[in-house]
Amino acid sequence: MSFDHRLRLGINIDHVATIRNARGGLHPDPLRAAKMAAKAGADGITLHLREDRRHIRDEDLEKFIAQVELPINLELAATEEMLDIALRHPTHAVCIVPEKREERTTEGGLDVARLHNSIAPMVRKLATAGRRVSLFIEPDPIQLAVAEAMGAQVVELHTGAYAEAALEGHFEKAEQIVEKLAEAARIGTARGLEVHAGHGLTFDNVTPIAAIPELVELNIGHFIIGEAIFIGLEDAIGRMRRLMDEARA
């Protein structure tokens, strides 16, 4: 099978909202960041509406749906409250992610095998409502099999362990995780799933992940927003776009 598609780049703008929320008020405006991301070459916008609303808020979601032309990927926890919000707000995709109130960021993939009985009905309801359903999981064959059985159209592979190993200089371990991610991408694609990846990706570590031919999309947020402080949002997105394209070339 040939994979010559352009690897899509989804930009998560949650941390623009985090900075805004630290002081209150309206600045910086995450909607403005999303529009700049579109201009800079992003293929989609990701938002995580957390239960504690530490990132975007409900009114942000409504503004994004009304004013952002790029596809919106809404990340949310597997709760009845979030399911109701997703059903009332027509975004392009909904990605179900694990979430704990005390965590600083997502700490791992969703264990869809263990949580099958609670996740499967949510997937069915979202799919029936016309949402493209994604599950944020570890690169594990069992999780992939369950995701397919549930009827998810997309899986996003958690790259956090790879990013952490690379950052700490454990390069052999990082290479082993890349191999595991690549195998998961192959398995997922063979099962008819569209395979994405994300978490902890940077200029320094994105190339081996972007080079995995079966991957269709990378979602990157915290690093891009942080780097924008130093070089600007459009330049940060543009450089990431170039690195991804070079990896595919």
Q: Which residue is catalytic, options 75, 99, 138, 217?
A: 75
199 in catalytic set: yes
Q: Which residue is catalytic, options 199, 214, 217, 227?
A: 199
Q: CA-to-CA distance for 70 and 14, rounded, in angstroms?
A: 16
Take residue 96 and report the two structure tokens written for it. Answer: 């179900």
Take residue 167 and report the two structure tokens written for it. Answer: 């950052």
Query: Using an 8 Å Cβ cutoff, are 39 and 234 in contact?
Result: yes
Query: Using an 8 Å Cβ cutoff, are 66 and 46 in contact?
Result: no
Concatenating the DSSP letter of every residue in the chain gives ----PPPEEEEE-HHHHHHHHHH-SS-S-HHHHHHHHHHHT-SEEEEE--TT-SS--HHHHHHHHHH--S-EEEEE-SSHHHHHHHHHS--SEEEE----TT-SS--S---TTTTHHHHHHHHHHHHHTT-EEEEEE-S-HHHHHHHHHHT-SEEEEE-HHHHHHHHTT-HHHHHHHHHHHHHHHHHHHHTT-EEEEESS--TTTHHHHHT-TT--EEEE-HHHHHHHHHH-HHHHHHHHHHHHHHHH-
75 in catalytic set: yes
Closest CA to 109 of 187, 199, 185: 199
5 in catalytic set: no
Q: Which residue is catalytic, options 15, 48, 55, 196?
A: 48
**What are the residue numbers of the active site?**
48, 75, 199
